[in-house]
Chains A and B, each alone.
Chain A
């Protein structure tokens, strides 16, 4: 488990040391590849038998392994994508060579903090790691700030709102510590492993209070409405590979904190309390985001609101609970972590080509960049929840779980908003994908309004590496829509068991 934490740290140092040379991107890539290689044995072995490290400070079970493999996969994908992306930004004069070095150093630190969240056994250590993700990613959003003023605004909002939110989460952790020291004294009173074994003896009233604080705190970070205001700004202003990481996995690591917390709160307070709170937060998130998706005219913000919607669905599935609801929620985490980064990667390319993030200014992506257009189309269909793609499967699983529990009001509301989202996403991206490409040379010779976009042409290298990443992700999306491979199925089942659900 330790190499998994050490590799990103050393890569970050190496990238920083190499910031004056051209090699930072490749150092970052080498780090990401070796991280992938070294994480596999840790992931595989911890699925079957949990392991501890650092004197009980670190702990890894199937759920940690599940989240960790997502972090590792996405960090590899965005490292590959970033090399080309930054080369392009450098050519466009948006960032200098030292900035690239800083970018890769921060990217690896960011990955390190997220990995630390997944393996922290200690409640407070996890809090520290989650707060560290905020700090590092705020720097990544505001990178090269002098050139993009909106990015400063986004980064400021992000760090202020998330820090305030997470402060409340720390209060919740203090209260938990108070409750657990009353049972076992101070030794190990903050460790999941210990807390889980004494969970039923904790004072229910105290734990209820603690859970509310933690839900609000980590919920802010996970992008649950109504404390989501930072999310659309941060996601739309960050560099595309960072948006992909923020959306695909950062939100989920915060939600992972909530999941772990639920597993120690539930035995004393009962399922009703945590479940109904999560369902309410989930439905409110889905509702609010669906309205904003319908009226959105900026495609990166559209994707950001779609993240809020999907976090809402995950929260809903987890709140419905039971093995089926949790299965749906965990599967949804995986599906969302594939589809959303794909879309952010694609939107980075579209933004580079058209020089705008406004939906109405982009036309005919399918005809100007056929491969990218098809990949975007797959991603948009998947995000909107169309069958037979992956997200449909997990949403359907969650709906079935709700039917089993007889939560008809929840089902009705969810379906209503899901239809709105379906229309909003497909109409937004439909407008971008279809139609004539205004930038393409006209059939009979003269260019039509294309001259302004000449300096925005893509570099070939970026096209190749981003296409490679996106094709892999699109293939996974299609495969997961058709079948759930055995190893994913068994990992999710083991994760549900790790959360203590029979």
Chain B
């Protein structure tokens, strides 16, 4: 009865959506849209986990899906939006390189990941796409972190990396034991909150939300 998941390659579609929301980060100009892209990405991630749970039928996956949705899909986006509002920054992302360039580079990243994981050493029950997409999302997140000026965009890049990581974990082993999963999520939540606090401090002390100002410590 769960054939429809296979018949319509639901898992492939969802993971393609995850990749697309990550790639879209390259073209988005407003911080609010970046936060939206992230929440969409997290919702898709938790949907994917839920679908996997339907296929495999393990309770701990349902829990993981719910927890992912609540933490990454609700709490973190709400928190990020509040910070964006509180910082009263200009709402532009201000990348170091042009959008076209940045889209091209992420396209190349995806191609490299697909190329190098082709005859991979990993054999899982999943469609192979999922693992490749997850690694690609990790790299796109990293790429976004190093090419954007705003403190908040760095945090969002980091969050994309972590979403990619979770996806990789699921595609490899159907996720970790629940307790561990919760611990990792808790750490992440704390990390994001503290980064948010520091971002506000940066804004207050340097009178700018750009990381360009953080260049005093060298050598």
Contact = CB atoms under 8 A, between A and B. Distances in A.
Real complex partners, A and B? yes
Interface of A: 122, 124-125, 127-128, 131-132, 134-135, 138-139, 142, 145-146, 149-150, 152-157, 159-160, 163-164, 167, 170-171, 174-175, 177-178, 181, 186, 190, 203, 205-206, 209, 232-233, 236-237, 292, 295-296, 301
Given A142-B198, A146-B201, A156-B211, 15 more contacts: A125-B180, A131-B187, A135-B190, A152-B202, A152-B214, A155-B198, A157-B217, A159-B194, A160-B158, A163-B158, A167-B165, A171-B165, A174-B176, A178-B124, A178-B173
A124 to B, nearest CB: 4
B219 A295 contact: yes
A296 B219 CA distance: 8
B85 interface: no
A135 B173 contact: no
Interface of A is mostly: helix
Interface residues of B, number: 38
Contacts of B173: 174, 177-178, 181, 186
Contact of B183 (A128, A233, A296): A128
Contact of B121 (A167, A209, A296): A209
Contacts of A160: 145, 154, 158, 195
Contact of A171 (B145, B168, B202, B204): B168
* A155, A178, A236 pick with most chain B CB within 10 angstroms: A178
Nearest to A155: B198
B198 A232 contact: no
A146 B158 contact: no
A348 B219 CA distance: 21
Contacts of B206: 149
Contacts of B211: 156
Given A142-B198, A146-B204, A153-B214, A178 B122 contact: yes
B142 interface: yes
A301 B218 CA distance: 10
B172 A167 contact: no
B159 to A, nearest CB: 10
A149 B49 CA distance: 42
B195 A145 contact: no
Contacts of A156: 151, 195, 198, 202, 211, 214
Contacts of B121: 203, 205-206, 209
Contacts of A205: 121
Contact of B201 (A145, A170, A233): A145
Contacts of A135: 187, 190-191, 194
Interface of B is mostly: helix
A206 B161 CA distance: 21
Contacts of A149: 205-206
Contacts of A164: 142, 145, 158, 161
B194 to A, nearest CB: 6
* A142, A154, A171, A232 pick with most chain B CB within 10 angstroms: A171
B5 interface: no
A43 to B, nearest CB: 26
A125 B205 contact: no
B12 interface: no
Contacts of B186: 128
Contacts of B165: 167, 170-171, 174
16 contacts: A124-B177, A125-B180, A138-B198, A145-B205, A154-B217, A163-B158, A164-B158, A167-B158, A167-B162, A170-B184, A177-B176, A190-B177, A203-B121, A206-B122, A232-B219, A236-B217
Contacts of A163: 158, 191
B180 A124 contact: yes
B216 interface: yes
Contacts of A153: 214, 216-217
B57 interface: no
B202 A128 contact: no
Contacts of B172: 174-175, 177-178
A150 B159 CA distance: 25
B47 to A, nearest CB: 20
B61 interface: no
A59 B194 CA distance: 30
B214 A157 contact: yes
B169 A159 contact: no
A127 B184 contact: yes
B217 A150 contact: yes
